[in-house]
Amino acid sequence: MSSHAATIDHHHDATTSTGIPNKKLLWWAFLASDCMFFGALISTHLVYRLNPPPGNAIPTQVFNIELTSFSTFILLMSSLLMALAVNAIQKGNIRSTRTMLLGTMFFGCIFLGGQVYEFAHFVAVKKMTLSNSIFGSTFYTLTGTHGTHVAIGVLLLGMMYVRTFKPAHGESGLLRNFAHLAAVCTVMAVSFIWLVPSGIEAIYGAPVGELLSHHAVPFGIGAVALAVVFWFARSGGEVEFGEKNAIDVEAIGLYWHFVDIVWIIIFTAVYLLEYL
């Protein structure tokens, strides 16, 4: 692979009319489309913000702006890790690529965990549900759609991570590959559904021992899955993944950065706007 390294130009693709790789162009066009999805959702939110029916929820009484600011920061930092992952694979450094991908995924999970905590808190404590106020309807739908984007991003990164282990000359790799992916997905799911929300609760003063015993089963499953992920990650033979796949990592990177930028807009339009 390294012998090819010098010939790969990451900024110009000689096989296309414009020099932009097809995959990159595809993602750019998709992101333009995705802008309109979020545009429609944000418009809906703002329209109802300007025309609130009587008895609507009052956002500033619901929000926990410190927590959301923190998770916004984490999501922005995950973009940095994503950029480092792209940089690493463009240099052909697969080990570093894997580390950065895992880091991006984990930061994404912290953000998602913050959202899980936030939603659960709003419903259980602030008594704002999807259906009992129009603010609830627009808020959960908009931020939930964004959360779904992040979750899909985490899944794609997980798939990319597992794909880096695809052996160059391997046999019967499919089952192993699926097991690997399942373990990664389990770790991520446990961390954003149980681990991170519990951590936030602990920070807000919930007793740690009680949290651990309450969520013992998912934590146990998560620990086993984590062990499996480590076991799969021990260095093996030559892999098929390499510098030539930089465009694939870059494409997911585009998506990831886009989702971050959208969050900045949502954070401004939905949260900060209420504090003006």
Partner 1 sequence: MAEAIAKHAFTGAGHPPAKATFELMARPTAKTGLISWLTTVDHKKIGMLYGGFAILFFLIGGLEALMIRTQLMVPNNRFIGAQLYNELFTMHGTTMIFLAVMPLNAAFFNLLIPIQVGARDVAFPRLNAFSLWVWVVGAFLLNVGWLSHIVPSWQFGGAPDVGWFGYAPLTSKVFTPDLSTDLWVLGLQILGLSSIVASLNFIVTIINMRAPGLTMMRLPVFCWMALVTSFLLILALPAIAIALVEVMFDRNFGTNFFEVSGGGQPILWQHLFWVFGHPEVYILILPPMGYVSEILPTFARKPLFGYPIIVFSGVAIGFIGFGVWSHHMFTTGMGVVATAAFSIATMAIAVPTGVKIFNWIGTLWGGQIMTRVPMMFALGFIWMFMLGGFSGIMHSAAPADAQQQDSYFVIAHFHYVLIGGATFALLAAIHYWFPKFFGRMVPEFWGKVSFWLIFVGFNCTFFPMHFLGLNGMPRRTWTYDSNMGWNEGNFFATMGAYLLGLGIFTYFAVLVWSFFKGQKCGNDPWDGRTLEWSIPSPPPEHNFAAIPNVHARDAWWYEKTHQDEIAAEKAAHIKAEESHGGIHMPDQSWYPLFAAAGLGLAAFNFAQLHHPVMMMGNQVLSSHLPLALTGGVIMVAALYLWSLEGPGGYHIHLDANGNATESRGDHH
| Shortest distance (Å) from residue 29 CB to partner 1 | 5
Alpha helix segments (H runs only) across 63-167:
65-90, 94-124, 134-163
The packing angle between helices 246-266 and 134-163, to 10°, is 160
SS3 content of the chain, % helix, strand, coil (to 5): 75, 0, 20
Query: Nearer Cβ to partner 1, position 163 or 257?
Result: 163
> Would you say 261 and 76 are in contact if contact means Cβ atoms under 8 Å apart?
no
Q: Which long-range contacts (CB under 8 A, 24 or more apart) does 233-240 make?
A: 233/98, 233/165, 236/165, 236/167, 237/167, 237/168, 237/169, 237/170, 238/167, 238/168, 238/169, 239/94, 239/164, 239/165, 239/166, 239/167, 239/168, 240/166, 240/167, 240/168
Nearer to partner 1, 15 or 61 (CB): 15
Nearer to partner 1, 45 or 121 (CB): 45
Least Å from the CB of residue 176 to partner 1: 11
Q: How far is the CB of 142 from partner 1 (least distance, A)?
A: 10
Of 20 and 269, which has the nearer Cβ to partner 1?
20
Q: Using CB under 8 A, list all residues that contact partner 1.
A: 13-18, 20, 22, 25-26, 29-30, 32-34, 36-37, 39-41, 44, 47-48, 51-54, 56, 130-131, 133-134, 136-138, 141, 145, 155, 159, 163, 166, 169-174, 177, 181, 240, 244
Compare residues 29 and 208 and give the one whose CB is closer to partner 1.
29
Compare residues 31 and 202 and give the one whose CB is closer to partner 1.
31
CA distance 81 to 88: 10
> Min. distance of Cβ 14 from partner 1 in angstroms?
6
Structure tokens at 218: 């998912």
**How far apart are CB 260 and partner 1 at their closest, in Å?**
19
Q: Please answer whether residues 248 and 23 qualify as being in contact, where contact means their C-beta atoms are separated by less than 8 angstroms.
A: yes
Closest approach, Cβ 92 to partner 1, in A, equals: 14
